[in-house]
A = this chain, B = another copy of it.
Amino acid sequence: MPDKDNYKVIGTRPIRHDGEDKVTGRALFGADFSMTGLLHGKVLRSPHAHARIHSIDTSQAEAHPGVKAVITSADMPEVEDGLVTLAEGGTANLKFMQNNILAHDKVLYKGHAIAAIAANNPHVAEEALNLIQVDYDVLTPVMDVKEAMSAEAPLLHEDLTTTSLGQKSEVVSNVAQHFQHQAGNIEKGFVEADIIVEREFKTATVHQGYIEPHNATALHRADGHLTIWCSTQGAFEVQGQIEKILQLPVSKIKVVPMEIGGGFGGKIPVYLEPLAAILSQKTGQAVKITMDRSHVFEATGPTAGSYIKVKIGANNEGKITAAQAELIYEAGAFPGALVGAGMECIFAPYDIENYLLDGYDVVVNIPKTAPYRAPGATNAAMAETVIDEICEKLGQDPLEFRLKNGVREGTRRVGGPVYPRIGFLETVETAKAHEHYSAPLEGTNRGRGVASGYWFNIGLQSSVTLHVNSDGTLNLMEGSTDIGGTRTSIAMQAAEVLGIPVEDISPAVVDTDSIGYTGVTGGSRTTFATGYAAIEAAKDIIEQMKESAADLWEVESGNVAFEDGVFSSLNGKSQQAPFKEIASRVHDSIVGRGTVDPSAPGGAFATHIVDVEVDTDTGKVEILRYTAIQDVGKAIHPSYVEGQMQGGAVQGIGWALNEEYVYNDSGEMSNSSFLDYRMPTTYDVPMIDTVIVEVPNPGHPYGVRGVGEVPIVPPPAAIANAIYNATGVRMNTLPMSPGRVLKAIGKI
């Protein structure tokens, strides 16, 4: 392995392999896919947020010219009711999985799929949707988690009973799960506090807002093999979900991941794929279905809005003595568990002896929620405004306070395990020393805020295969969807091992038949885990090339060394040659393979500084300056790391200031377009300054940590703190939109 002080590829900024294709429009996305005999599918969606289905009559649609097949939930295979244990561990309710794809006896959100049609062209399919007769009994929707928890609330699932602290109860309720973490003595901790701050927060339901809508094409073959082309964060994840939903053997499902136009967690669940598959099975032809933007908003998983109550006590020395939180998260129409991750992260930056966390997963009549970049953590990080208030009341600098209470190697995480080597304090020290933190901030209604955030990152299995070409270049095959430049960051790690330029490696994201099992692109794991697999595959290549060099040089096997990209013989004959020369002289095909399942992804911490100006006439908050500081372990490709930090910060600004699902009284989303669902554009944010901190992760050969998620965590809290600094008002509801700001400062 190359010496870390002597990296040749890692830490450089080559152009990504797929860059020119993407900017010239040659990259192939799912919607670009076509083939002879392709049918087009459309989906009938519920106009009601909550209703019972009495009957569905598809006969007229089936008789419509050009219609090839109509399906409803009756076309789904029978599955066990209740939780089943999955092959890969964990449990799932297969009925719920199926019912989210096609509603059975109830529709549970506006946009919930009820039926799907395959026809000769998309217009015929759309026209025929109108011919499907659905007889509904409309019910009162339940849109708010706290209302949903009340005993009087209408029930979404008449047979859903609460699982409380791991035990199934007999209580029928909209509360699917109650989780709890505790340690120490919470009462004693608060007694020891000199100051206690308790606040409540509400965060909005928000969508990942990826540019590319969902799409899926399926071809069900006569022998039972199914091929799916789609936009997904994980081809093997699609394979696994299809296996459960359609009850097919995993070996008969081939998923071909097309390019992806963003996912951020929202392209992990399947929506259209099972519909296209059943329609193809019925018609014997390939079927393609795409969504438009309103479908994406109304029928795919946004992430959970939440109600959060936080209570923190500290003593006059500035030490936290106790912390308590209640987190109530929207599950959406079916149980989910995003609240769990929120609980993992809410107090993760702090060394706290006495704590109590309660989390509730609550079903409401909105789409089943999905992960969104550090899912659950951004909501929970509103606790950082409570930290800010405590610092203010104690008269302490908030970064000093974090240095005093912050976690380090050996600290046990609140609700979690003991930390390995981490870089939280380094991000705080870097922030404290940064020119931004001490820069004068002149003008009225301007303020500065800081906040920190944590994301744990994940490991999971990844596989990489490398082929050596006859000209000494290599092809790299991997199973990780490339969202943020990971083709290149993975190839760079192989190139570092091989001592060649990364341009000599052609990386490709291949289908599920063509590579070993590889987990989802999520949890900030791809550069970490798939890069690790690439390192192993490259080392495998080197071992084989040593043998080849020994053959070429006619020295004994084992008598060749490889260092700094050069093979040399050890027998004193002083033969030596670089990788490319040996590779091009070897006649046999050399294949290298790497499979890893690393257990220590290394947690990621970020500390952000933001300056805002509040327009007290309009309530608009302008971001004047933003600095994101983050421990990335080791930045394989610093530009892409910076890009992740900037992208995450901008999305966090969206959560903070503008983004939310707005529902009318019938539970219908009022703003399901990009005109009305207001995401930040380039006009809304300044250049996000980034500072990379590198505290190597001991769980990766090059020290990589996941970097993609944590930068979304601090922005809402940091901005709320800055708004307070500017106006003297503490905001407790996201988004801190102009109306809410005006109301908070007493202008309306």
Contact = CB atoms under 8 A, between A and B. Distances in A.
Interface string A460-477: 010101010111011101
B33 A35 contact: yes
Given A32-B35, A591-B463, A597-B587, A20 B517 contact: no
20 contacts: A19-B223, A24-B284, A26-B285, A26-B286, A28-B36, A32-B37, A34-B35, A34-B36, A87-B470, A87-B471, A249-B471, A251-B473, A251-B504, A251-B506, A252-B506, A461-B587, A508-B513, A518-B589, A587-B597, A588-B597
Given A506-B513, A588-B597, A590-B516, A284 B26 contact: yes
Contacts of A508: 513-514
Contact of A513 (B249, B477, B516): B477
Contacts of A465: 465, 591
A368 interface: no
Interface of A: 15, 17, 19-21, 23-26, 28, 31-37, 87-88, 219, 221-223, 225, 249-252, 254, 284-286, 461, 463, 465, 467, 469-471, 473-475, 477, 504, 506, 508, 510, 513-518, 587-591, 593, 595, 597
Given A475-B513, A508-B513, A222 B32 contact: no
Contacts of A590: 516, 595
B589 A516 contact: yes
A287 to B, nearest CB: 12
Contact of A20 (B222, B286, B515): B222
Given A250-B471, A514-B508, A514-B514, A593 B591 contact: yes
Contacts of A24: 221-222, 284
A501 B471 CA distance: 39
A515 B513 CA distance: 12
A35 B32 CA distance: 5
B515 A251 contact: no
A440 B400 CA distance: 109
A26 B461 contact: no
Given A26-B221, A467-B515, A590-B595, 17 more contacts: A23-B222, A24-B222, A28-B36, A32-B36, A33-B35, A34-B36, A225-B506, A250-B469, A251-B475, A254-B506, A461-B587, A463-B591, A465-B465, A467-B513, A508-B514, A587-B597, A588-B595
A171 B506 CA distance: 48
A588 B529 CA distance: 13
A474 B249 CA distance: 12
Interface residues of A, dominant DSSP = loop
Copies in the complex: 2
Contacts of A593: 591, 593
A19 B223 CA distance: 8
Contact of A250 (B223, B470, B513): B470
B223 A20 contact: yes
A219 B27 CA distance: 10
Nearest to A27: B221
Contacts of A87: 470-471
A251 B469 contact: yes
A458 to B, nearest CB: 16
A17 B225 CA distance: 10
A206 B225 CA distance: 39
A36 B31 contact: yes
Query: Ordered nearest first, which 10 A-B pairs have the shortest CB separation?
Result: A516-B589, A20-B222, A251-B473, A32-B36, A34-B34, A20-B223, A475-B513, A589-B595, A24-B222, A591-B593
Nearest to A588: B595
A473 B473 CA distance: 32
A241 to B, nearest CB: 14
A470 B595 CA distance: 14
A461 B589 contact: yes
Nearest to A592: B593
Nearest to A515: B467
Contacts of A286: 26
A21, A35, A286 interface centre (most CB from chain B within 10 Å): A35
Contacts of A517: 470, 589
Contacts of A591: 463, 465, 516, 593, 595
Nearest to A587: B597
Contacts of A463: 589, 591
Contacts of A25: 37
Given A36-B31, A595-B589, A251 B471 contact: yes
Contacts of A506: 225, 251-252, 254, 513
Contacts of A252: 506
Contacts of A31: 36
Nearest to A35: B32
Contacts of A219: 26
B467 A26 contact: no
A37 to B, nearest CB: 7
B516 A21 contact: no
A226 to B, nearest CB: 11
Contact of A223 (B21, B37, B88, B284): B21
A72 B441 CA distance: 66
